Amino acid sequence: MDPKPKSWSIHTRTEITSKYKILHRVGSGAYSDVYKALRLSDSLPVALKEIHDYQSASREIEALKALQNSPNIVVLFEYFWAEDEDTVLVLEFLPFDLADVIRAATKGLFDHQGDVSRGADRGEFDDVSKGGKKGDFDDLGGDVSEGGLRIEEIKMWMIQILCGVDACHRNSIVHRDLKPGNLLVSADGVLKLADFGQARTLLAPGLAAIEADSPSMDQAISNHQPDVPGSEKEGKEAQRISESPPHSRGEYGTRPDDRMLREDFLDEYDNYDGNTSCLATCTTSDLEEDPLKMSFPYEIEGQNDRNGALTSCVGTRWFRAPELLYGSTNYGPEVDLWSLGCIFAELLSLESLFPGTSDIDQLSRIFSILGNLTEEVWPDCCKLPDFKLISFGKIDNPIGLEASLPGRSLDEINLVKKLLSLNPTSRATAMELLHDKYLNEEPFPVQVPELRVPSKHTAEDGDSSGEWGDYRDIGSDSDMDDFGPMSVTDTENGFSIRFS
Ligand SMILES: Nc1ncnc2c1ncn2[C@@H]1O[C@H](COP(=O)(O)OP(=O)(O)OP(=O)(O)O)[C@@H](O)[C@H]1O
C-alpha cells in the first residue's frame, strides 16, 4: 500500500488547526518554518515550528524535554509527531531575539513604551526612541556604552544567557548553534535559548562530578536567576508535553511498522554525525588518537552511533570554535563556550568579532586577533584532524582583544578572554562566569523588566527583522549560499524566493 502522502501545508492538518488558529509565518530556518498562532482554548500566542528534517526535530524535542525546568529555555507546550508528516512543535511565542536587541542598540530603536518605562520614568527614553545614541542614557545614572547598551543591561543579558547555557551543560546538552539569533527575547526582556535542532546530549561524568562537588552552584543560580514572569506557570505547562511517541533514539523500531523509519533514521544519523565534515574540514576523526579524549570523557547517548564522533559542521561560522573549524569530531560543551565569547564580545562592541567569509577566513580572523594556535597554546592541537592541512603564517603581533573591543574595561575584556581561549580545556564554564567578579560588582545588572527591547511593531508586522536577519545570510553553511543573496516575499499561496 502506498504510504499516506505528506500534508502539503500545516494549514491542512486538522489535529493542529482544531487547537490553534494559525496567523502568519514569522520565520524560517534551514529546516523549518515558524508560524505565529493562537491557542484556541485561551488565546495564548504560540509559535508553531514546522520542522522538515526528521533528525533535527528529534534532537530539538529531546533537548527541550530535558530542559523544561529552566526559565531561560524556550517553553515547549506540546508537539505533533506522525510518521510521514513534518513534526510541529508548539512553543511559547517570543517576539524578539538578541540580534534584534543589538541592532536596536546600534540604531537607537528601542521601544520607549516597552523598556525601562515599565519600571521607571518612561519619559527618560523618549529621545532614544527618536534615534538618540551615546549620551542619551546619562540620566539613568549608569555608564553609557558606545552605541547604546548600558553596562547594567549587558550584564543582565549575559547572566540570562549564562543561566540558559548552564542549564544545558548541567543536563549534558551541547547546543552547538549558539548565536544572537537563537537567543529569543520576550517583550518583558526574558531571554531564552531556542533552536535546539543541532543539540546533542552527551554523557558527561566530568560535569556530573562538578555538580555534585559544587555546593555553590545552586546558590549562584538563585543569586542571579532573573525574576521570570510566569515561570512557575511555564514549569507546570512544560509538564504538559504531549504523549506523542518518544524520540529517544533507542526507542525507535520497537513496533514492526517502525522498522523502516528506524533504519532510515540511523542511516541519516550516521551521515550527519561522525562521518561528515565541512568545507575546510574534509577528514573524519581518528578516535584512537582523539586529542580530547582524556580531557573530555564524553560519550554520545545512543549506542548506535558507531564511532561516537560528532560532526565538526555545526554552528553558524562566526560563532564556531577553532577546533570545529579544524575538523574536531569529539568535543564537548566548550564549543558553546567559544560561541558565548563571540556573543559577549558582540554585546560589548555591537559588532561581530570574527565575521569570517569562509572557514579558512574564519580561522585567519581568529588568529589575527588572538595569535596562532600552537602546541604551546594547546598541546593537543596538532592532533586535530585538519591541523596539519591548514597552516597560517606566524602572527608576531596579534591585534588582541583589548584593541578589538575599544573602550571596554579590563574586567569586560577578561571575561571575554576566559571564553575565547584557543585551548578548549581553558575556557571558563557558564557556572564559573556566573560567579565572575564583573557580573557581581557595581554597576549591578538591571532587573529583567528594566531591559530595553526593540520596538513592538518590528515583531508584529509579520516581517520581523529576525526573520531573514544578518545571521541568516552571513556566515551560514546553508546550501543557499551558492545562489547568492535572496529575497523572500509572502504571496497569497505561501511565499516565493528570488535569488539575485
Ligand atoms: N518561539 C518562537 N517565537 C517566535 N519566533 C520564533 C520562535 N522560534 C523560532 N522563531 C522564528 O523562526 C525563525 C527560525 O526558527 P529556528 O531558528 O528555531 O529554526 P531553524 O530552522 O532551526 O533555524 P536555523 O537555520 O537558524 O538553524 C527564528 O529565527 C525566529 O525568527
Which band of pLDDT confidence, cut at 50, 70 and 90, is reported for residue 304?
Answer: very low
Q: Is the ipTM of this complex over 0.95?
A: yes
CA nearest ligand 1 atom 21, residue: 29
Q: What is the pLDDT of residues 117-159, one digit of tens each?
A: 333 322 222 332 323 333 333 333 333 444 589 999 999 999 9
Segment 12-29 mean pLDDT: 95
Share of the chain above pLDDT 90, in %: 55
What is the Å distance from ligand 1's center to 4 Cα?
28
Burial class (CB in 10 A: 0-12, 13-18, 19+), 339: buried
| Residue 105: all three cell numbers together | 542598540
- Whether 93 is in the pocket of ligand 1, judged by its Cβ within 6 Å, is yes
pLDDT at 110 over 50: yes
pTM of the model: 0.71
Maximal CA-CA distance, the chain? 72
- Whether 366 is in the pocket of ligand 1, judged by its Cβ within 6 Å, is no
On whether the CB atoms of residues 374 and 381 are closer than 8 A, the answer is: yes
pLDDT at residue 18 in the model: 97
Which band of pLDDT confidence, cut at 50, 70 and 90, is reported for residue 461?
Answer: very low
pLDDT at 464 over 60: no
What is the Å distance from ligand 1's center to 478 Cα?
15
pLDDT at 236 over 60: no
Work out which ligand 1 atom sits closest to the CA atom of 93: 3
484-489 long-range CB contacts below 8 Å, 24 or more apart? 488/28
pLDDT at residue 276 in the model: 29
pLDDT at 51 over 90: yes
pLDDT at residue 378 in the model: 97
pLDDT at residue 390 in the model: 87
Burial class (CB in 10 A: 0-12, 13-18, 19+), 30: middle
Q: Mean pLDDT over all residues of the chain? A: 71
Q: Which segment of 185-194, 237-246, 380-389, 469-478 scores lowest on mean pLDDT? A: 237-246
Q: Is 4 annotated among the ligand-binding residues?
A: no
What is the Å distance from ligand 1's center to 338 Cα?
22
pLDDT at residue 2 in the model: 52
pLDDT at 186 over 50: yes
pLDDT at 330 over 60: yes
Q: What are the residues whose beta carbons fall under 8 Å from the beta carbon of 419, sequence distance 6 or more?
A: 337, 338, 340, 341, 344, 427, 428, 433
pLDDT at 350 over 80: yes
What is the Å distance from ligand 1's center to 353 Cα?
23
How open is the CA angle 185-56-463, to the nearest 5 degrees? 40
Which band of pLDDT confidence, cut at 50, 70 and 90, is reported for residue 241?
Answer: very low
| Residue 392: all three cell numbers together | 597560517
- Whether 315 is in the pocket of ligand 1, judged by its Cβ within 6 Å, is no
Give the highest mean pLDDT range of 1-10, 80-89, 258-267, 421-430. 421-430
- Whether 30 is in the pocket of ligand 1, judged by its Cβ within 6 Å, is yes
Give the highest mean pLDDT range of 37-51, 110-124, 251-265. 37-51
- Whether 32 is in the pocket of ligand 1, judged by its Cβ within 6 Å, is yes
| Residue 67: all three cell numbers together | 530542559
Which band of pLDDT confidence, cut at 50, 70 and 90, is reported for residue 212?
Answer: very low
Work out which ligand 1 atom sits closest to the CA atom of 467: 31
On whether the CB atoms of residues 26 and 464 are closer than 8 A, the answer is: yes
pLDDT at residue 84 in the model: 83
- Cα–Cα nearest to 340, from 424, 404, 273: 424
CA nearest ligand 1 atom 19, residue: 29
Higher pLDDT, 90 or 281: 90
Q: List active site positions.
A: 177
Q: What are the residues whose beta carbons fall under 8 Å from the beta carbon of 335, sequence distance 6 or more?
A: 174, 176, 314, 315, 320, 321, 323, 324, 424
CA nearest ligand 1 atom 24, residue: 29
